[in-house]
Structure 1
Amino acid sequence: MSNFPTHAVDWVIIFRESLPGVDPAQAISAWNNLTARLQAVGLVFKTRKLDADRLSIWIHCPDELLTREWHKECVNDWLNDVGLPRDSPIASLPDDQKPSSRLVLSPAQRLRLIHDLLVQPYAEGGVGLLVDMPIAPTPAGERTESVGGKYVEALLTPHDKDFDKRWIKTWSQKWILSRSDLDSIKDVFGENVALYFSFLQFYFFSLVLPAVVGVIAWLANDAYSPVLAIVMSIWSVLTIELWKRHASYLSVRWATRNASKTLRSRPGFKAEAVLVDEATGEKMRYYSPVQRWRTICSVTFPALVGSILALSVIIFAVVSLEIFFNEYYNGPFKMVLGLLPTVVYCAALPLVTAEYNKIARKLTELENRPTVSDHQNSLSEKIFLSSFLLIFLSLLIISFVFIPAADVLGHYLIQLGFIGHFNSSAALAPTVLQLRVFFFFATGQVVNNAVEVLLPMAMDKVNKAIERRKDKQVVGNMDAEEIELIEQIRTELAKPEHDVFAEYSEMCLQFGMLAVFSVVWPLGPLMCLINNWVELRSDALKICQATRRPIPVRAENMGPWLNNMQLLAWLGSVVSPALVFLYRNWDVDAVASTQSLARLPQVILAVFIWEHGYFLCQHVVRLILASFVPEGDIIIRRAQYVAKHAILSNAGITASISDSQILSEAAAIKEASLDRISGTVHEAVSANQE
């Protein structure tokens, strides 16, 4: 334990002093293990009482330890070709980040390095902190890898209130984020958050063209416009491919290129044994892939399929009841009964979604993925599947079941005795689908923004009011700054964690709705354009006031959400032409099933041609873009050239170079002492061995 100023607190661990039904001696043991591990890695900390049942551990990382961790990361990045190519682990670093000078890092870099040190397994030089998770049994003969477990309620870092105020004020006075604004976000919240805001702004600008075309189609009263469908298919391809190039540039600019190669071990990974790597001779934690696939096939897949089927049945039942009461039923309480399924569904949806997410998280835990990225990718795919069903399934059922077979369903209901008569000429029409799409693009997004931002802020005020009524007597003497920090920790602990994956999920599903159903309501792109302008600001407000401070994570792209966007773009190339050729110039007086069957051949032909056209467009766009050298590639090639020349020069080999600027850059890189490099590597290896 140590004394350090309150403003120097990096991370805060919330420790439960007891657990229901657990021997108090275990809490003492967990506390001793945790504090001993913190001291072993070199972190300093002090403890303050948070309330009657919890302690807060304020952690600070000394400069010497932070410098060591930073240069260990530099070595690891150099070995994995992360960031710009260079001839040594410290070559081409800024002067204030060279070993000979006092290290100067951004707040996000500092917090990320310390967070990684806290959660890394003990065998890799970290604390091995587990947050609100049971500690797995340790293989025989091995020391305990993890500490904390269920006794650690949370790990958080306090918000920088001054930056939050400046950021919100800046956003209120400008229309778009500049590069310097994104760099500021990156420096405070990390590359993953900055990348999300960069994507959101890029996506916002990409919507201008489809919004203009959609407004023209709406003014021309051109329902199910083939022109809009073509524009949206091309737009979806261009948006994805251009974003890939822009994300590649950002990964170079922010030195996160190939960051996915530096795989972080997952704190909750449960090893079956510790084996020796045949290639390197190093010890590694091992879990049998056969066992993992056995779990996936026998537990994960059946449970996931069962959950998806149950969710699909619920959605189908709700849509069926809503269609029945609104379109076929003519008895008493028609209006009330027509609204009842939707009201019940909307009320139950948060509970159903929460339960599904719990199941998805539990199934992903059972898969026992070894790295953080593998775990997140597996979980995100499961959650994306449920979100897709909740939004798209009802629209697809209405589009290709209820409307085309409206008269058949009506006569079937008569035979079953549910209705007395049915007028085929007044059957379900495409306007029902248009109303649902309108609800998503207009009403649904407004409600979603309110739930995302206003509800957490309201709950925050409620929690503050509750806290003010509680007895907050603390043990020990505390100065004014410490009392203020305690209040801030209590406030932020009541807030949810920030989840950038949920933000990507929302934008990904919106992109899919545009690619698939824009032809149904042409003003959809305009509504999304307006929504995303608001979203850029509301997400900033949400991060600053409605969630905990994000954990900084390096990211080079959107992860699995880019693949999900490509899948939805392909789905749009199938569904969009089917809707155009099925419902364009729909005759509301004709029999629905007869009309649908008559149009079926041209629908199938249109889908076949459109899908192939989509892949052809994708190929052509990639060929065209490949002929233009990306800005990031130029920077990489230049760095490679300088690094190679420095290596040749160190080896005593002279190269013929005409560019004097390149020569001076190479000479500057040579100044990095090989002794200093080897010392850094030796220090990193020694720290790992300890």
Structure 2
Amino acid sequence: MGPSTMSPNCRHTVQIKTTLTEHVPFGRYGVLGSTVQQITILRQAHEGPKLAKLRVQLGRMTTFKVLISFISIAGPLGVGWFFLDSPLSDLLLPKPKLGFDQIIEMASSALSGSHNNFYADYVIQYNYANTEPTKASEELELLLRKLWEVGLQAEVRPGEDSNLLVFVRASRKKSLRRAIYQSRIRDWLHGVRNSEPEDESSAEPQTESERLRIINHMITLPHNVGGAGITPKHGHWKNVLAVFPLHDEEKNREYLADWSKKTFLSEEDLDQIRGKFGESVGFYFAFLQSYFKFLLFPAVFGFSCWLLLGSFSIIYTVVNCLWGVIFIEYWKRQEEDLSCRWQTKGVSVVRSKRREFKPEREVYDQVTGETRGVFPATTRLQRQLLQVPFALVALVALGAIIATCFAIEIFISEVYTGPLKSYLVFIPTILLSALIPTMSGVLVSIATKLNDYENYETQTAYDTALTQKIFVINFITSYFPILLTAFVYIPFASLIVPHLDVFHLTVRPFVSKEKATTAHENFTINPDRLRKQVIYFTVTAQVVGFAMETIVPFLKQRFAREYKEYKKKKYGRVNSGLVSETQKETQHSYDDHEDEVQFLTRVRKEADLDDYNVTDDLREMCIQFGYLALFSPVWPLVPVSFLVNNWVELRSDFFKIIVECKRPTPIRVDTIGPWLDTLGFLSWVGSITSAALVYMFNTSTNGPNGEPSAIKGWALLLTIFFAEHLYLIVRYVVQATIAKFEPHNVRREKTEQYMIRKRYLEATLGARSSDEEEEVTAKDESMELSDLTRKSLEDDTRAWSKHNTVAEERFWMRQKGWRESAQVAASIIESQAKPDMKKQQ
């Protein structure tokens, strides 16, 4: 395997665990085209770090972690060329020659973008369709000047549909290093980083996502914090439609081909996702991977219970609830481990303020010494109380639609016996498809306005609050139909169905009044309806959702591009004879350069793609987990369906990111956000619904109309009460047990924190001890015993009387130094010794 191609001015780092037993000259490693910056040898934790400039010299066998950093200065350079013996790109180093036990980490941190993207870091999409040409030119001139002021170079190219594409890159490396250094200083001040960052001249991005994140801050942050202040669709920049990074198609194809062959993603794969798309996407794929692995046990156990025990098994229900608790607590530890590994723990405190935030007053921060705007928590709490009526309105509005369509469906499918029944059963589906999205859109709009009114300071807090409001809508639309079937239709259908004749109105437009007949007397409850409904939501709906999420958007994009090309060709043919020579020359001046055609064509396609929102994928997984926690006792094969679905989801979501969406701007997070609390809430609700379902349907005896028999209200409530309290006890035990197992990266971070403090303490105490030794050596306050005379004692007595000393001070002045104290101790011992011991002496 040959050396990989890299752009000039790239910094590369290789971290290797090695055992060295002899003097190894550094010259053995140096190669052409590279300038070695430093070799950092990290000894075992208790020994601290050492820095070697030219050679590694060890006198005894010790295991080290070696971090080698070097900069390429001679054009394209393979990482493997840095080592003469074997290319590092193969991840193989001959042990006999170099003594490397294993490669811990290998990373290259480029100072510029990918050569596949012409080294462009970001594209700013500017639309001038509804703006006067003069004003548009002035705005664009201001935009370019703002970019130049923060050290970003820009190139403008024509886009499609009255759009301009402004390509941005960090051409001034000094400005990029300064921005990186300032970002790391903020992290250090807020406790995200353990050690103080290196100096500004050597600050370089560790991953591609860090570089893109820093450059995005340079573009979008306000001017007073070092940014250009360009905010898409906001304020002065309403004509800026988007600011997005470009996909690296070559790398994306490699990742997709590699991961499609694997069952599980490795830690290195997750690191690559994080390094490419940022921590928010990395956390989502890590969660999906953990969830997929955890589904293996309930899938096997559920399949066994389905064969041996059937539905509504008490054993399966208990194990399923316990599994849910263990998974949630395990993921909490995984989150902590990943946040330490990716150095994002506590990053939420570094968030910048939202531009829409409206402080009520400004106060002086005694900690930072800065003046900052605040919004009283009590005022926000009063506004947050509006969430209660919002939830009730959502429940009534969506619940009424779902319940009405549900009743219509029951009437047509199980009561109505007239003509066209096979076609009329689709009426409820049509009504749901039309009304639920409309009402959900209205409620989301209300939730957004309510969220704006609550006036959150940071974007993270704003997104969390909005996610919680929208989840109320998702909960109702996802689970309410099954809850209606389980707790309304099956127990009380015999009481409700006779009153459903009102729904004759739904079939009146299609059949005559005489033919619209019903049969109440022959109606019996269909106990299998609940199982079929669960199968639909956990199998059929998952397949439909996959198609709507991945396949349909892909086909729509293909057809839209082909239709656009067709319109261009048709318009060109129609107007080819009507365009003057001057107009042809003008049109030709905007044609792409020959060596840019392929690149600009790809960028224009990316500009038309939708934005990727990781929240949508997390919401999908949490709703899926809810089906498993709430209703899987109805059909124990639910985890089997989800296991297969998530294996596909793991790959289709990555395909969606790289093909159907713009490349997401990297965002640092240390958790999956409010969805972790959502998982806990669903697990708790699942303990209630599962216990109720098992109590109601575990017995095989049904009443004369098919309803479950022997249901006692007090027994149902008692079952729910004990199940919920047992769940809380089990959750506490699981939390206490898992808390005893500390993740590796958390332990490593604590070790680093301890070592930093220890080295600081040793340096401080070492300086003090050396000063004290010099002072003691220069002047020993202890007098020789021979110096103790009557005159010296009289002098001390006179000094005490002059200074008016008190008893406490005189207590410490009676003995002059350690020698006199030793003499006094000896005299006391001698005077109090027993007579027989004196004789022996």
Which of 493, 508, 524 is 1:406 aligned to?
493
Kindly report which structure 2 residues correspond to 1:351-362, keeping only aligned pairs within 5 A, or say none: 351-362=438-449
Q: Residue 57 of structure 1 aligns to which amino acid in structure 2?
A: V
Query: Quick check: 1:462 aligned with 2:549?
Result: no
Kindly report which structure 2 residues correspond to 1:367-516, keeping only aligned pairs within 5 A, or say none: 367-413=454-500, 421-423=519-521, 426-469=523-566, 471=568, 475-476=589-590, 478-516=592-630
What displacement does 1:77 show?
Answer: 1.0
What RMSD over aligned residues (CA atoms) do the two structures have, in Å? 2.9
Comparing 384-393 with 365-374, greater Cα deviation is found at 365-374
Q: Residue 688 of structure 2 aligns to which amino acid in structure 1?
A: V
What is the number of residues matched between the two proteins?
627
Gaps of 5+ in 1: 91-97, 136-146, 657-690
Query: Quick check: 1:547 aligned with 2:661?
Result: yes
Tell me the SS of whatever aligns to 1:8: coil
* Equivalent-residue separation in structure 1 for 2:754 and 2:562 (angstroms): 61
Does the C-alpha gap of structure 1 residues 305 and 14 become closer, same or farther in structure 2, counting only changes over 3 Å? farther
Kindly report which structure 2 residues correspond to 1:231-242, keeping only aligned pairs within 5 A, or say none: 231-242=319-330
Q: Which has the higher contact order (CA 8 A, sep 6+)?
A: 1
What displacement does 1:528 show?
Answer: 0.4
Comparing 454-463 with 553-562, greater Cα deviation is found at 454-463
* Equivalent-residue separation in structure 2 for 1:399 and 1:354 (angstroms): 28
**Which residue of the partner structure matches residue 677 of structure 2?**
563
Which of 137, 144, 156 is 1:47 aligned to?
156
Tell me the SS of whatever aligns to 1:512: helix
Does the C-alpha gap of structure 1 residues 475 and 348 become closer, same or farther in structure 2, counting only changes over 3 Å? farther
What displacement does 1:388 show?
Answer: 1.1
- Matched-pair contact (CA < 8 Å) for 1:264–1:373: no
- Matched-pair contact (CA < 8 Å) for 1:259–1:554: yes
**Which residue of the partner structure matches residue 46 of structure 2?**
none
Does the C-alpha gap of structure 1 residues 368 and 56 become closer, same or farther in structure 2, counting only changes over 3 Å? farther
Q: Residue 105 of structure 1 aligns to which amino acid in structure 2?
A: Q
**Which residue of the partner structure matches residue 15 of structure 1?**
126
* Equivalent-residue separation in structure 1 for 2:495 and 2:768 (angstroms): 81
What displacement does 1:171 show?
Answer: 1.6
Tell me the SS of whatever aligns to 1:606: helix
- Matched-pair contact (CA < 8 Å) for 1:9–1:60: yes
Kindly report which structure 2 residues correspond to 1:307-322, keeping only aligned pairs within 5 A, or say none: 307-322=394-409
Q: Residue 224 of structure 2 aligns to which amino acid in structure 1?
A: A
Tell me the SS of whatever aligns to 1:46: strand
* Equivalent-residue separation in structure 2 for 1:184 and 1:172 (angstroms): 15
* Equivalent-residue separation in structure 2 for 1:116 and 1:291 (angstroms): 31
* Equivalent-residue separation in structure 2 for 1:420 and 1:17 (angstroms): 62
**Which residue of the partner structure matches residue 832 of structure 2?**
none
Tell me the SS of whatever aligns to 2:166: strand
* Equivalent-residue separation in structure 1 for 2:256 and 2:630 (angstroms): 35
**Which residue of the partner structure matches residue 189 of structure 2?**
79
**Which residue of the partner structure matches residue 173 of structure 1?**
261
What displacement does 1:68 show?
Answer: 0.8
Kindly report which structure 2 residues correspond to 1:90-489, keeping only aligned pairs within 5 A, or say none: 90=198, 99-101=200-202, 103-133=204-234, 135=235, 147-148=236-237, 150-220=238-308, 222-270=310-358, 277=365, 280-285=368-373, 296=384, 305-413=392-500, 421-423=519-521, 426-469=523-566, 471=568, 475-476=589-590, 478-489=592-603
Q: Residue 581 of structure 1 aligns to which amino acid in structure 2?
A: Y
Tell me the SS of whatever aligns to 2:125: strand
What displacement does 1:272 show?
Answer: 6.4
Q: Deviations over 1:18-54 (max 9, x none)?
A: 43xx666654554344333223322221211213511
Could you say which structure has the larger radius of gyration? 2
Query: Quick check: 1:611 aligned with 2:724?
Result: yes
* Equivalent-residue separation in structure 2 for 1:474 and 1:651 (angstroms): 71
* Equivalent-residue separation in structure 2 for 1:586 and 1:30 (angstroms): 74
Q: Deviations over 1:262-289 (max 9, x none)?
A: 1232244355676654664534345566
- Matched-pair contact (CA < 8 Å) for 2:411–2:503: no
- Matched-pair contact (CA < 8 Å) for 2:306–2:637: yes
* Equivalent-residue separation in structure 2 for 1:243 and 1:273 (angstroms): 40
Comparing 467-476 with 455-464, greater Cα deviation is found at 467-476
Q: Deviations over 1:72-122 (max 9, x none)?
A: 111111111114x23x233xxxxxxx6454725321111111112222223
Tell me the SS of whatever aligns to 1:58: strand
Tell me the SS of whatever aligns to 2:168: strand
Comparing 174-183 with 330-339, greater Cα deviation is found at 330-339
Give TM-score, length-normalised by structure 2: 0.70
What displacement does 1:374 show?
Answer: 0.9
* Equivalent-residue separation in structure 2 for 1:304 and 1:402 (angstroms): 24
Gaps of 5+ in 2: 1-111, 506-516, 573-586, 770-841
Does the C-alpha gap of structure 1 residues 490 and 100 become closer, same or farther in structure 2, counting only changes over 3 Å? closer
* Equivalent-residue separation in structure 1 for 2:628 and 2:127 (angstroms): 47
* Equivalent-residue separation in structure 2 for 1:244 and 1:24 (angstroms): 54
* Equivalent-residue separation in structure 1 for 2:191 and 2:256 (angstroms): 36
* Equivalent-residue separation in structure 1 for 2:487 and 2:588 (angstroms): 63
Does the C-alpha gap of structure 1 residues 411 and 319 become closer, same or farther in structure 2, counting only changes over 3 Å? closer
* Equivalent-residue separation in structure 2 for 1:101 and 1:394 (angstroms): 59
What displacement does 1:414 show?
Answer: 6.4
**Which residue of the partner structure matches residue 139 of structure 1?**
none
Give TM-score, length-normalised by structure 1: 0.84
Identity %: 31
Hey, which of these two has a bigger chunk of helix by percent? 1
Q: Deviations over 1:418-471 (max 9, x none)?
A: 9754247x5223311111100011111111111111111112212321342455
